[in-house]
Structure 1
Amino acid sequence: MSVLTKVLGDSNAREVKRHLERVAEITELEPLIEKLAPEELKAKTAEFRERLANGERLDDVLVEAFAVVREAARRTIGLRPFDVQHVGGIVLHNGTIAEMKTGEGKTLVAVLPLYLNALEGKGAHLITVNDYLARRDAGWNAPVYHALGMSVAVIGHEMSLVYDPDYLDETHPDPRLQQLRPVTRAEAYQADITYGTNSEFGFDYLRDNMAVDLSQCV
């Protein structure tokens, strides 16, 4: 270890420490957020969007938005994001790489920055490696987004799906995925949050750039 590292500390450690300070702010909000009725919790999304429209940045609403997601996850899927998962969410939001060990909850980590970035109304995309993971992660976490008034969809090779709590596919063996309703590819892209694979997103981008009419784009 160099003298400089001993004096200033490891850069990653300093970064994590800085993020943990924000996580402490998120945790401080927990008692207040817990008291919100379901409709009040959902209304937070409209409140955040209004604040962004009035000039605030995503970083300005990050702490409260993450606190809202934590509560929505606890109520809907029975999982409360841990501090380390919030750190991972902040890192992803900042556009940097978060390396996490198996079992540390990467699937839930992604929900935090996805919700935050979807607040801008431009659509937030999660890219994974295969259709199975895209469908699984979207379906498992869809109740969290739905509780906050956001739509979620999946772009797949064979079909596209959107979460619909009024729909029931009894043929699917996983009850957590039975409320994914088939839709067109274009409809899936209209969702607030869209899960898919690198190949599906990539080829859609290429096809859109080759289209001669906007009606041919997704």
Structure 2
Amino acid sequence: MGNGAAIKRGAREATGDILVFMDADGQHDPHLIERLLSRLEAGYDMVVGARSREGQASIHRGLANSLYNRLASWMTGHRVLDLTSGFRAVRAGKFKEFLYLLPNGFSYPTTVTMAFFRSAYGVAYEPVPVYQRVGTVSHVRPLKDGVRFLLIIFKIATLYSPLKLFAPTAFLFFVMGLAYYGYTYSTVHRFTNMSALLFSAAVIIFLIGLVSEQITSLVYSKSRG
């Protein structure tokens, strides 16, 4: 089924209070688990092993991950140092709250990280070295899985922070409508159907975002009530 499916199956079968995830290709040092657990004992709900730029598999992978980190930071309002790291320790009860959200593919770290931030669960990053992959070849397809990572980010943003997407989009349509109206008024001295369409789209998109934001708030208040 995929990496995410294996993670979900393992999480369901696990009986401990803390779950530790790491890649099985030799990139992560098991001796560093103690460092993650010590940060977890400090009161955090999840501790992620953050890779440095030198620890990225390639320049292209490093640039892509940097983009994901910046985009996720903007979406969540928190600084995300390593969105896609598979080396992490997490409290089992809180992790299992989001199992139904996790995809079966490679992007489970993306989903769970953003879900934890939106739920106001404590997330910490611990710098860790990453070693050369041994005995296997990466099954991540940069283009296809890169697009998939972005889609997952927008999916989670829509689910947890809808206005982060809808408000800027609505503003863009409004500016386009205003600019087009200014152009047509100066040339033909009238308000055109295209301007009306752009203004209407801006209002509709903003209202959809507003309603989605309210629904999200109700879902969270109900789940914690």
TM-score for the superposition, normalised by structure 2: 0.26
Rg larger in structure: 2
* Structure of higher RCO (CA pairs closer than 8 Å, 6+ residues apart): 2
- TM-score, length-normalised on structure 1? 0.27
